[in-house]
């Protein structure tokens, strides 16, 4: 696992993600922490806040960064990072996630 706190989003992506999927309005970066265990806030670059109502104990945790229009999801060692190109796509992504995790 990356022990040095990333200074920015690009460092985080280089440290944890090895695949990117381009979609209209956003990119999804996929990767892993390299172990099964919690991903703590200290491993995220500055500006991320946890969305506790979307968490599921230590197995799933979700953070968002409004300034970067980015959502990080950690599930059992896997990391997905959605980076939106504009505010409209970011709001739609947050709405979709809120609906998904509510049900």
69-77 long-range contacts (CB < 8 A, ≥24 apart) are 70/9, 71/97, 72/12, 72/44, 72/48, 74/33, 74/38, 74/39, 76/36, 77/32, 77/33, 77/34, 77/35, 77/36, 77/37
pLDDT of residue 1: 46
At 28-47, the pLDDT tens digits run 999 988 665 556 555 788 99
- The class (CATH top level) of 9-102 is alpha beta
pTM tops 0.85, yes or no: yes
Residue 66 pLDDT class (50, 70, 90 cuts): very high
């Amino acid at each position: 696992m990356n022990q040095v706190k990333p200074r920015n989003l690009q460092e985080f992506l280089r440290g944890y993600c090895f695949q990117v999927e381009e979609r209209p309005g956003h990119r999804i970066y996929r990767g892993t922490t390299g172990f099964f265990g919690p991903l703590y806030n200290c491993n995220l670059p500055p500006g991320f806040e946890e969305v506790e109502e979307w968490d599921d104990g230590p197995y799933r945790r979700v953070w968002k960064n409004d300034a970067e229009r980015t959502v990080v999801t950690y599930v059992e060692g896997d990391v997905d990072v959605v980076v939106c190109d504009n505010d409209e796509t970011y709001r739609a992504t947050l709405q979709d996630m809120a609906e998904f995790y509510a049900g």
